[in-house]
Amino acid sequence: MEYPIRINKYLRDKGLASRREADRLVESGLVFVNGKRVDNGIKVNEKDSVIVRQPKGLAKKEYQYLAYYKPRDLPTQDLPGKISVITEWKKRGLYPIGRLDKSSEGLLLLTNDGRFAREVLSNSVKYDKEYLVAVKEPLRPGIVKIIQSGMETQALGKLLPAKARIINNSKIQIILNEGKHHQIRVMMDEFGFTINSLKRIRIGDIKVEGLKPGETRPIHVKL
């Protein structure tokens, strides 16, 4: 998520509501930023505190949590005239937590619980993200130390230290505690590698194992 961001897009990307629903929540005076009721159009910064109050008279919301295997070539976010993860699931009131770019595949979490979404999107070790990356060129052993020390990149600046392990000549395992935009692709590009495939296989203790592309399964969440 890139900041500052409009409040309706922020609520959508956090899995709290669709953009139209977010607009209605704001218009109803149910959205507060840093303790103040806000109007539509306001932009939110990363460190702002955003609270959405439950409309009076509504039944308690039933929260849902799914592990989903996003297929390759399916975008996560809405694109005009295109099918995406959001268009597939928003009719059920579920939204992806974060995103995987169109060319990547693997584990996405779907929910209608903004509390859970915020926790997963934090840099908490509890929800670290594990990836398997296959590249065209032979991997160099020295890149592991650079990744583990927190590498400098032109596009994203200084990155947090991450875990890395070379599996074979063309495949590397990377575990991140942060999720900057296209982070792994930026890292590999800085090293001069061409990515053939990028798959997220785990978020915290939730694994994609056992799912085929397009499949889901319920997950149990403790908050």
Cα 190 to Cα 11: distance, rounded to the nearest angstrom:
33
Amino acid letter for position 51: I
Catalytic residue status for 101? yes
3-state secondary structure 72-129: CCCCCCCCCCCCCHHHHHHHHCCEECCCCCCCCEEEEEEECCHHHHHHHHCCCHHHCE
Q: Regarding the domain delimited by 5-52, which CATH topology (the fold level of the hierarchy) does it fall under? A: 3.10.290
pLDDT at position 1, please?
65
CA 42 to chain CA mean position, Å:
23
pTM > 0.85: yes or no: no
Query: What tokens appear for 13 in the block?
Result: 């990307």
Burial of 49 (0-12, 13-18, 19+ CB in 10 A): exposed
129-203 shares the fold of 65-122+206-218: yes
Mapping DSSP to helix (H, G, I), strand (E, B) and coil, where does residue 33 land? strand
Delimit the domains of the chain by residue range.
5-52, 65-122+206-218, 129-203
pLDDT (0 to 100) of residue 57: 58
The predicted structure's pLDDT at residue 12? 78
C-alpha 114/C-alpha 111 separation (Å) is 8
CA 181 – CA 134 distance, rounded (Å): 19
Between CA 223 and CA 215 the distance in angstroms is 25
**Residue tagged active-site, from 101, 113, 189, 205:** 101
Give the model's pLDDT for residue 58: 54
State the pLDDT at residue 99. 87
Range 65-122+206-218 has CATH code 3.40.50.300: no
CATH class of the domain at 129-203: alpha beta
In order along its 223 residues, the chain shows pLDDT tens digits of 688 999 998 887 776 777 788 888 899 999 999 999 999 999 999 899 999 887 765 556 788 999 999 999 999 987 777 888 988 898 888 999 988 999 999 999 999 888 888 889 887 889 999 999 999 999 999 999 999 999 999 999 999 999 999 999 999 999 999 888 899 999 999 999 999 999 999 999 999 999 999 999 999 987 7
Q: How far apart are alpha carbons 12 and 98 in whole angstroms?
A: 10
